[in-house]
Structure formats: structure tokens, C-alpha cells
Amino acid sequence: MSPVDQLFSTNGFKVLVAVIFVILLFVSLTDLVSTWLRKPTIGQHVNAAVTGRWWVAVLVMTVFGAMIAHFFVYITHA
Amino acid sequence: MAIHEQMTGSGTRRAPVHKRLASHIQAKAEQWRRIELLAHLAGFVVVAVLFWLAVSALRSADVNACLKHEQLDSTPGYFLAGITVAGFLAGRGVAWFRRHVRAGLNVAAPAKSSTGLGILLVLFLAVAALLLGYETWSVANGSVPPPVTSYVRCAAYHQFPLAAATAASIGFMISNWLWFPSK
């Protein structure tokens, strides 16, 4: 057993679940309410924010793609 | 101007399928909005159920499952990456549909970014910076305690269906934000 294996804690997994799902639930609810109230979607707001700053979207997409590969392609690495 | 308005009049050439579909959505925007709302509600319920499943999995989690992770088969990781990308592409398709529902309802797109969105973005980036800071400290310290990456990989491997559904949801939402069609 390596030191890394010994130090995994349930609290670490709790933080992981909390961060992921608080964001997902918040975004999902916000989009639902904006649709209900006939307001622009989050996507339209982000669109307005990155119009003229397309490089922001490119940067975020690059980070997103890198994270998918980093987390999942090497999933069995410690 | 809505697409269905552009296509009226005799002698108009038959428009491509996507334009005809967009025209149909815009013409019946009120009906499609109800379907969109229902789908949204279903999506929210799905995320809530995933959260409940994740909390249940936490209760019975055995952190020793992360032992000898390097000896496992890495194939599920490729599936997870593919599922995330599939969710991302699906999100773009749904964003296209939602954009035309809004065009049919004459909901104007915001002309500039809102302050509220800016504050939320700052909060989001602050959390991301905090996690990245922890990751850096952990890696610099010889992965003791384990970095966020190790937690994600272990959880994703041992809770594959839950991880796949969550990863697809994240891909879906990100493309709904960043790949929302502007015209």
C-alpha cells in the first residue's frame, strides 16, 4: 500500500460530490427559472459576455478538453 | 426577423432541412416552450437524483477500493471521455432548439453581459482556483494527501454509471453555455 492509498478520505469524496452537484443543481435550476420567466438563457448571457472576446471561449474549451483527457484517459493512474 | 417570416411568399426556393425545422420551431414556439419546460424540469430532477445517488454511494464508500488502482483496466476511462463528448454535442443540439424557441417568442438576447453573471463567474473561478491550489500543493508534496485528480479518477472508475451520467450532464451544460448559437 502506498502513502497515497492510505490517505484517501471519505471527506475528500464528500467535497468532490458537493462541488460538482451544487454547481450542476444551481445552473439547472437557474436555467429552468429563466425559461419559465421567458428570460434569456444562461447560454445567451454567456454569449453576450464572450461576444468580441472569442478567445475566452476557446480558452475554456481547451481547459475542458484537457480535463476530460486528464481525468478519464489516464483513469487508472494514481 | 424570424426565419418563418423570411420564407413566406411564392417562388421561394425550398429551404434546407435545418432552416425548415427552425421555421417550424419558431412558428410553434409556444407549444415547444412547454416541451422545453418539461424537459428542463426532467433534467433538474435527473441531476437531483444523481446527487442523491452520489450521496448514497458516499455512505457505503470504501476508500480502500482506490488501492492498487494502476493494475486496473483503463478502458472505462475512454468510454467516460466519449460519453462526456457525446453530452457536449447533445447540448449543442438542444441549445440550437432553445435558441429558435426564443426567437419564436421574441425573447431578446442580452446586449451585454450582466453584473450577476460576472459575480457568479468570479465565484466559480474562485472555487476552481482553490481546487487547483490544493492540487498543486498536493502534487508538490508527493501526492500526500492525494490530489483532486486521484479522487476523481477513483470515484469515476468505481462508480462508472453515476460518473458517466454526471460527466454527460457536465458536457451538456457546458456546451449549452459556451456553444449556444448566436444566430
Segment A62-73, tens digit of pLDDT = 888 898 888 898
Subunit contact A28:B43, Cβ cutoff 8 A: yes
Segment A8-23, tens digit of pLDDT = 888 889 999 999 999 8
Q: What's the CA angle centered on B49, arms B155 and B60, to 5 degrees? A: 45
Subunit contact B146:A4, Cβ cutoff 8 A: yes
Contacts with A, B 100-119, CB within 8 Å: 102, 105, 107-114, 117-118
Interface test with B, best of A11, A17, A36, A59 (most B CBs within 10 A): A17
Subunit contact A29:B72, Cβ cutoff 8 A: no
Residue A31: what pLDDT?
Answer: 85
Q: In whole angstroms, what is the distance from residue B129 CA to residue B96 CA? A: 32
What cell numbers appear for B34 in the block? Answer: 412547454
Q: In whole angstroms, what is the distance from residue B100 CA to residue B69 CA? A: 47
Average pLDDT on B77-102 reads 91
In percent, the amount of chain A with pLDDT more than 90 equals: 12
In percent, the amount of chain B with pLDDT more than 70 equals: 90
Average pLDDT on B60-64 reads 79
For residues B4 and B27, the answer to whether their CB atoms sit within 8 Å is yes
Q: Return the minimum-mean-pLDDT range out of A67-71, B3-7, B32-36, B98-102.
A: B3-7
Average pLDDT on B123-145 reads 88
Query: Is the predicted pLDDT of residue B4 greater than 60, yes or no?
Result: no
Please state the ipTM of this predicted complex: 0.82
- Residue with more model confidence, A14 or B10: A14
Residue A55: what pLDDT?
Answer: 86
Subunit contact B151:A13, Cβ cutoff 8 A: yes
Subunit contact A76:B145, Cβ cutoff 8 A: no
What cell numbers appear for A21 in the block? Answer: 452537484
Return the number of other C-beta atoms located less than 10 Å from residue B78's C-beta: 12
3-state helix, strand, coil in chain B (%, to 5): 75, 0, 25
Q: Which residue of A has its CA nearest to B116?
A: A45
The partner residue sitting opposite A73, judged by closest CB among B41, B78, B142, is: B78
What cell numbers appear for B177 in the block? Answer: 453555455
What residue has cell string 459575480?
B119
Average pLDDT on B69-90 reads 88
